[in-house]
Amino acid sequence: MRYSWMDDYLLAKRGVTKDFQPVWNWIRYHVGGKMFAAICLDRNSEPYFITLKLDPVEGEFLRAQYEDILPGYYTDKLHWNSVRANGAVPDALLRQMLDKSYRLVLAGFSKKRQREILGLTCCGMECAACGAYPAKCPGCEACAGKVFHAPPGKACPIYECAVRKRKLVHCANCEQIPCSLWRETRDPQLSPEEFAQSIRDRFRRLKEE
């Protein structure tokens, strides 16, 4: 297969798992337990198709542009498309198609479940990397935003805005990121320099999604 980068590329995405379906002879990639891509192997266990999901209109358009993009192999041909593993589809285009498939399947989950799958809070924090987790704070999802540094009995202002008011998966879906709430809401354990770096890191994590 000419797209030798694909396995590493997909497994680097948040929440992605991989398995092998022996009956179909497929290597499958899942997010939240749902398949979003597969490498279909032939009888000699050589890749011959890469199958992924796209918006039907875009899938139809790309199939008309590239002879190596076909209706989904042994899948719903409206939403799924198969790319010849040794075809001439540009690497950059295949990456874009895989990214879109990942996002389409992820978007099928509730917003709460999406945050759980991504392992991020709405503001891009990785709870597992926080010194207050889990003894002092169980994480945004578990406490509905009432984290240890929020006003007593109230949700973190960022959580209140993004999740409750705007109904977003996370702040990356807001054009104002990073906003004044980001700069005003801080973990008191962090120094000014650490807080500034935290904003940069959280912004990067969210934009990577």
* pLDDT tens digits along 104-132: 999 999 888 888 888 888 888 887 777 77
Task: Give percent of the chain with pLDDT exceeding 70.
Answer: 100
Average pLDDT, the chain: 90
CA 106 to the chain's CA centroid: 6
* pLDDT tens digits along 43-77: 999 999 999 999 999 999 999 999 999 998 888 88
The per-residue pLDDT for 209 is 61
Residue range 6-106 in CATH 3.90.1150.30: yes
Extract the runs of DSSP E, i.e. beta strands, from 11-145. Answer: 16-21, 26-31, 34-41, 47-53, 69-71, 80-84
The per-residue pLDDT for 89 is 96
Alpha-carbon span 139 to 134, nearest angstrom: 7
104: Cβ–Cβ under 8 A, 6 or more apart, which residues? Answer: 36, 53, 54, 55
Task: Give percent of the chain with pLDDT exceeding 90.
Answer: 53
The per-residue pLDDT for 187 is 79
* Residue 168 pLDDT greater than 80, yes or no: yes
Report which DSSP code applies to 183: H
CA distances 139 to 17, 135, 200, Å, are 23, 10, 20
Domain ranges within the chain, ordered by starting residue: 6-106, 120-208
pTM score of the predicted model: 0.78
